Every structure is written in structure tokens, then in C-alpha cells.
Amino acid sequence: MGMGMLKAIPAHLYCLPEIMRRIGLTSAVMSSLRKVWNNRQLCVDTKVHVYRALVLSLLLYGSETWTLLASDIKELEAFHLRCQRQLLLCQLAGPHH
């Protein structure tokens, strides 16, 4: 399947460049929200709401038009899990003094 599969998808439908662009933008948002993730006064539910509203919405904007390969889905899922770990590890570890 490999490279032959990529040739079967018309270039205008191949979405990996857009996915990687979105992951880059979303990574910047995750970093800018570090103070939110580290805030011990916010409960996990609140942080999850912020994550869904500001991070996932940016990551997945327009995704209903994407033609995804299995590797694209894995890339998106891996990024989503990294974000969740970052959010939860900040909650567990708290700020370092």
C-alpha cells in the first residue's frame, strides 16, 4: 500500500500538510495556555472545557472536508494524547518551587 496509496489520492485531497499546519498552530496555543494548565485552583473539568474550546476547535476546524489516511488519523490521535498528558501532568505535578 505505502507510496502507491499516496499516488491514488489526488493532490488537492491530500491533507497531511494542513494537518501538520494545524498541529503546529495548536501546539503554540497549548504552550500559551501553560499558566492555565498549571493553575491548581482550576479543576480538571474546567481545563478540559478550555482544551476543547480553544485547542480542539482550532485543531479540527474544517476537518469535515479532509480526506484522511490511517496515518493521518494516527498523527492526530498522537497529538491529542500528548496534549491530554500535558494537561493532566500539570494537574498532577503542579508548579515546581
Among residues 68, 77, 92, 80, the alpha carbon closest in space to that of 27 is found at: 80
- Kindly give the confidence (pLDDT) of every residue in the chain, 97 residues in length, as a single tens digit, with 9 standing for 90 and above: 444 455 566 665 678 899 999 999 999 999 999 999 999 899 999 999 999 999 999 999 999 989 898 999 999 999 999 999 998 876 566 555 4
The pTM score is 0.77
Query: Coil, helix or strand for 14?
Result: strand
CB atoms closer than 10 angstroms to residue 21 = 11
SS3 13: helix
Q: How many distinct helices (H) and strands (E) make up the chain?
A: 6, 0
Q: Where are the domains of the chain?
A: 66-92
